Amino acid sequence: MSEDQKKILESQLWGIANLLRGKISADDYRDYILGFIFYKYLSEKQYLYANELLVGEEVTDFKEVTDKDTLEAIREESLLKLGYFLQPAELFSAIAAKGNADIEDESNYILEDLQAVMNHIEESTMDTESEEDFNALFEDLDLNSTKIGRTVGARNAVIVQILNHLNKIDFKLDEIESDVLGDAYEYLIAKFAAGAGKSAGEFYTPQQVSKILAKLVTTDKTKLKSVYDPTCGSGSLLLRVAREADVSEFYGQELNRTTYNLARMNMILHDKHYREFDIKQEDTLENPQHLEKRFEAIVANPPFSAHWKSDNNPLNNTDPRFSQYGRLAPKTKADYAFLTHMLYHLADNGTMASVFPHGVLFRGAAEGTIREFIIKEKNWLDAVIGLPANIFYGTSIPTCIMVLKKCRKADDNIVFIDASGDEHFEKVGNQNELRDIDVEAIIEAYQSRTTIDKYCEVVTLADIAENDYNLNIPRYVDTFEEEEKIKLKVVSAELKKLDTALEDTNKTIASFCEELNISTPF
C-alpha cells in the first residue's frame, strides 16, 4: 500500500470519529471507534484464514459454511493460529448488514447480537493459551451506556452508524503489510490523545519521542530477544522498538484498565501473535508482574513525579528493586522508583531509555543518594538528553531522557545532549514537536559520542563527581550565545544623525503650527 493509500485509510477512520462529535464525548467515542475497528479486524482475519483452510473443499467461502464438522475443524485451527474463533453469522459484515436494514424496521436492532458476539469472542478462548490476552477485552464497549444514547433506539442508531461507515472501508488485510492498519490505528490513538488534555499522557507517547527511545535501545542491534515497558500505555513504545529491530517477545504492565485493553488490541492489530506478547494490568511498583524476567531492551514514559506508597510499605526496604540504593524514592516523587525498577529488570547486555522530568537530574536528598549510587558505585548511566518543553500531551514541563546500561566499561564517559533549544523543534498548534532532523541529530550525537558545540558534550566520571553528581545539563553543555559587541563610535554617530533629523522635524512642525496659528507641542 502506498503512502497515499495509507493516508486515505487514516482519513476514512478519523472521518468516522468526526461523525460522532457532539453526540458522544471524545473519551467515550474513542473507546467505541477503536473497539469496533478491532472487531472488524478480528472478523476479517477470521474470514481470510477460514477461506485458506477451505481451499479445495466443496464450499470455499466461509460465510456459506453450515456443516458442523467443518466449522468445528475451522474453530480448532483458528484457536491455534489466531487465538479466537468467530462463526460466519458473527462476522462484522453480517452484523453490519443487519444494522443496515430499513431504519423503520425493528430488524435493524443489533445491540443484543453485537453484545453476544463480543462475549463469544472472549468465551471462544477459554481454557486456551490465548485466554488471558482476550479476557474482558471488550469490557469498555458498554452497549447499554446512556453516554451513547438515552434510549435503546438512540444507542442502536449510533452503533449502527459506526458499523455502517466502518463496513464501507476495506482493510485489505490480504493485500497490505500488517503494519498499515496498525499505523492507522495508532494514528487514531494519537489524534484522540491530542484532544484528551491531561489524561493523554496515560496512554500515548508522542511518535517522535517513541522513535528516539526505540533507536537508543537498538543501537548496534538488529535483533532483540525481549523488550519491556513497565508503564506501557497503549503499547506504542513497545511496537516502535519492533520497527528498529526484530523483537521476539514483548512485555508490558499498565495500571489503567481501559488503557491495558487498548494495549492488547494494539498488539494484535499490529499482527503480533498472542504468544509473542505478555501485557499485564497491575500497579507496577506495588505489584510487579514480571519479577523473574530480565530484558534486553527497556523503554518507558512513566507518570512524572507520581505518588507511591514507599513509606507505607515496609517491604520496599528489602525489595531488591529498591533496597541497594541506600534510600527509597520520595513518596511524592516515584521517578527513581520507576528507574530502579527498570534497572532491576535490565539484562546485563541490555539498554534502557526512559523519559523523566528534569528534576531527576539535580534534586537532592534521597534522589541525590540514588543518583550517586547509580553513577559512582555501578557506572550504569550512559547518556542524558534534554528535550524541549511542551512536547508531551497534558504537560508543558521540560523533560529529559536517561539512557542506562549495565555493560559499560570502568572508564566510560557520559554523553550530555541539549536538544531543548528553539532551533531543535517546531511549534505545531499549541504543542512543540520534534522533526525527523531533530531525532536524527540526537541519535547521531549519542552514537558518535563526540563533542558538538552548544549541543553535545562528552563528560568524564571525574567531572560528574566534581559536580556532586548533579546532572543538570547546563553544567556540562554550554549553550550561551555571546552577544554581538556594540561599536560605541558607530552608535554615537547614529544618535547624532537622529538628533539632527529630530531637530529638522521639530522645525517643520513648528512652521505648520505657526501657519495654523496654534501653539507647538514642545
**Over the stretch 202-247, which tens digit does the pLDDT of each residue have?**
567 889 999 999 999 999 999 999 999 999 999 999 999 999 999 9
158, 145 Cβ separation under 8 angstroms: no
Mean pLDDT of the 58-74 span: 95
Q: Mean pLDDT across the chain, nearest whole number?
A: 89
Q: Which three cell numbers stand for residue 481?
A: 550565545
Confidence at residue 184, expressed as pLDDT on a 0 to 100 scale: 82
Residue 265: which of 173, 183, 185 has the closest Cα?
A: 185
The residues with which 401 forms a beta bridge, in sequence order, are 355, 385
Confidence at residue 521, expressed as pLDDT on a 0 to 100 scale: 77
Cα-based angle 224, 230, 235 (whole degrees, multiple of 5): 70
Q: Cα dihedral sign for 132, 136, 141, 143?
A: positive
Tell me which residue has cell 487498548: 262
Burial call 263-287: b when 16+ CB within 10 Å, e when fewer: bbbbbbbbebebeebbbbbeebbee
Confidence at residue 200, expressed as pLDDT on a 0 to 100 scale: 47
Decide if pLDDT at 149 tops 80: yes
- Measured CA to CA, the distance from residue 320 to residue 341 in angstroms comes to 9
Of all residues in the chain, what percent are helix, strand and coil, respectively (each to 5)?
50, 15, 35
- Measured CA to CA, the distance from residue 206 to residue 92 in angstroms comes to 31
Tell me if domain 3-194 and domain 197-307+316-407 are identical in fold: no
Decide if pLDDT at 360 tops 60: yes
Instruction: Considering only CA atoms, give the Rg of the chain.
Output: 30
187, 179 Cβ separation under 8 angstroms: no
340, 370 Cβ separation under 8 angstroms: yes
- The helices-and-strands tally (H runs, E runs) of the chain is 17, 11
Query: In the chain, what are the domain boundaries?
Result: 3-194, 197-307+316-407, 486-522
- Measured CA to CA, the distance from residue 51 to residue 62 in angstroms comes to 6
Please report the DSSP string for 59-108 in residue order: ---GGG---HHHHHHHHHHHHHHTS----GGGSHHHHHHHHTS-TTSGGG
Distance of alpha carbon 519 from the chain centroid: 70
Q: Which helix (H) or strand (E) holds 11?
A: helix 3-19
Decide if pLDDT at 480 tops 70: no
CATH architecture of the region 3-194: Up-down Bundle (1.20)
- Measured CA to CA, the distance from residue 96 to residue 89 in angstroms comes to 11
Residue 181: which of 437, 6, 376 has the closest Cα?
A: 6
The contacts found for 5-10 with CB under 8 angstroms, 24 or more apart, are 6/180, 6/183, 6/184, 9/169, 9/171, 9/180, 9/181, 9/184, 10/183, 10/184, 10/187, 10/188
Instruction: Name the amino acid, one letter, at 245.
Output: A
Give 170's Cβ-side CA count (13 Å radius): 7
Please report the DSSP string for 332-392 in residue order: T--HHHHHHHHHHHEEEEEEEEEEEETHHHH--HHHHHHHHIIIIIS--EEEEEE--SS-B
What would the pLDDT profile of 303-344 be if each residue is shown by its tens digit?
A: 999 999 887 777 788 999 999 999 999 999 999 999 999 999
Confidence of residue 195 (pLDDT cuts 50, 70, 90): low
What would the pLDDT profile of 92-103 be if each residue is shown by its tens digit?
A: 999 999 887 655
- Measured CA to CA, the distance from residue 519 to residue 513 in angstroms comes to 6
Confidence at residue 230, expressed as pLDDT on a 0 to 100 scale: 98
Mean pLDDT of the 249-275 span: 94
Lowest mean pLDDT among 76-85, 95-104, 253-262, 296-305: 95-104
Mean pLDDT of the 11-29 span: 74
Q: Which three cell numbers stand for residue 140?
A: 469498555
- Measured CA to CA, the distance from residue 474 to residue 454 in angstroms comes to 10
CATH 3.40.50.300 assigned to 197-307+316-407: no
The residues with which 352 forms a beta bridge, in sequence order, are 298, 404
Give 228's Cβ-side CA count (13 Å radius): 29
Burial call 435-465: b when 16+ CB within 10 Å, e when fewer: eeebbebbbebbeeeeeeeebbbbbebeebe
Mean pLDDT of the 193-207 span: 65
- Beta strands across the sheet bearing 223-229: 277-281, 246-254, 223-229, 295-300, 346-357, 399-405, 381-386, 414-418, 456-459
Lowest mean pLDDT among 50-54, 314-318, 387-391: 314-318
| Phi-psi region at 409: left, alpha or beta (left = phi > 0; alpha = psi -120 to 50) | beta
Residue 385: which of 301, 467, 432, 446 has the closest Cα?
A: 446
